[in-house]
């Protein structure tokens, strides 16, 4: 299934560029924190390209179709419940999900989470929910002698639904949670959320100003060179100058 999904992603997108995969802490428990601009495409791209197997936490409402359960299981998708979507009575079901995460991390597995908790295609990192921090604190408490990392990931699209467009996957420096200052649970949760947000902001095209988002989109489309079937220079530019989009933050947009 991993090979098949990788083939499908490469068929749909013209080029998928990768940066920072050598930073992934192989053999260590880690939670991958990715942005979420394209619903199911990020799990497919990351699941088919990261060397170690990845499990994914997905909103339960997305994987409720019983006819597709075989597909979701093959992708190692694990349901997560939110009170504002599924109702407060469903939150108890998260106990088994959290336990799955703890058991997997105990075995040095890698878990993919989308801490923005919703899908939206914008050149902006949206506010993170605290679930990733609560899971991390829970694991650290249960395993005081284990290492624990959060790996910030940016999956950056020219446009997620555009056939034969390009994707740039940027893996940031892993956050060693054992090196965060010791604190009580509430403070530690806030520290982890901030550290994760700071890490993701370095790998996600993050334009807080709407005009700069439009400028970013225009610049990327220009260098994409998608006309005439020619090879895109998008990835080549970003490979040699990974700060290209981030430097647009400093532009004055009229």
**Residue 249: which of 197, 217, 207, 201 has the closest Cα?**
207
Q: Per-residue confidence at 141, pLDDT binned at 50, 70, 90?
A: very high
d(CA 151, CA 172): 7
d(CA 234, CA 254): 25
Answer yes or no: is pLDDT of 96 > 80: yes
d(CA 65, CA 81): 15
Query: Which residue is listed with tokens 């929910």?
Result: 129
If you average pLDDT over every residue of the chain, what do you get?
A: 83
**Residue 217: which of 205, 227, 228, 232 has the closest Cα?**
205
The residues that bridge with 166 in the sheet, in sequence order, are 15
Three-state SS at 169: strand
**Residue 43: which of 102, 114, 93 has the closest Cα?**
114
Q: Per-residue confidence at 222, pLDDT binned at 50, 70, 90?
A: low
Three-state SS at 176: strand
Q: What is the largest CA-CA distance in the chain?
A: 58
- Which range is least confidently modeled, 6-10, 67-71, 124-128? 67-71
CATH fold, domain 2-208, is Glycerol-3-phosphate (1)-acyltransferase (3.40.1130)
Answer yes or no: is pLDDT of 228 > 50: no
The pLDDT value recorded for residue 122 is 83
- Which range is least confidently modeled, 63-67, 157-161, 166-170, 215-219? 215-219
The strand ranges marked E within 21-133 are 30-34, 54-59, 77-80, 110-113
Contact assessment for residue 199 and residue 172, using Cβ atoms and an 8 Å cutoff: yes
Contact assessment for residue 132 and residue 32, using Cβ atoms and an 8 Å cutoff: no
Answer yes or no: is pLDDT of 215 > 60: yes
Contact assessment for residue 158 and residue 165, using Cβ atoms and an 8 Å cutoff: yes
Answer yes or no: is pLDDT of 62 > 80: no
The pLDDT value recorded for residue 146 is 94
Domain boundaries in the chain? Answer: 2-208
Q: Which residues contact 3 (CB under 8 A, 6 or more apart)?
A: 48
């Amino acid at each position: 299934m991993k090979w098949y999904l990788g083939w499908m992603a490469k068929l749909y997108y013209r080029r998928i560029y990768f940066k920072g995969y050598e930073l992934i802490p192989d053999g260590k428990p880690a939670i991958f924190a990715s942005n979420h601009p394209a619903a199911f495409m990020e799990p497919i791209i990351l699941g088919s390209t990261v060397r170690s197997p990845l499990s994914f936490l997905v909103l339960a409402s997305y994987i409720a179709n019983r006819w597709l359960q075989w597909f979701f299981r093959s992708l190692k998708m694990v349901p997560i419940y939110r009170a504002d979507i599924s109702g407060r009575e469903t939150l108890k079901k998260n106990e088994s999900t959290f336990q799955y995460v703890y058991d997997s991390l105990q075995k040095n597995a890698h878990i993919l989470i989308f801490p923005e908790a919703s899908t939206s295609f914008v050149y902006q990192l949206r506010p993170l929910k605290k679930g990733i921090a609560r899971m991390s604190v829970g694991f650290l408490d249960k395993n005081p002698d284990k290492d624990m990392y959060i790996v910030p990931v940016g999956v950056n699209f020219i446009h997620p639904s555009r056939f034969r467009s390009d994707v740039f996957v940027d893996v940031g420096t892993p956050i060693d949670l054992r090196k965060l200052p010791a604190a009580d649970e509430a403070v530690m949760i806030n520290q982890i959320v901030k550290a994760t947000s700071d890490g993701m902001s370095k790998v996600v095209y993050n334009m807080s100003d709407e005009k700069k988002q439009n400028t970013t989109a225009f610049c990327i489309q220009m260098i994409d060179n998608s006309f005439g079937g020619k090879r895109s220079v998008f990835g080549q530019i970003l490979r040699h100058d990974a700060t290209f989009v981030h430097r647009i933050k400093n532009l004055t947009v009229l």
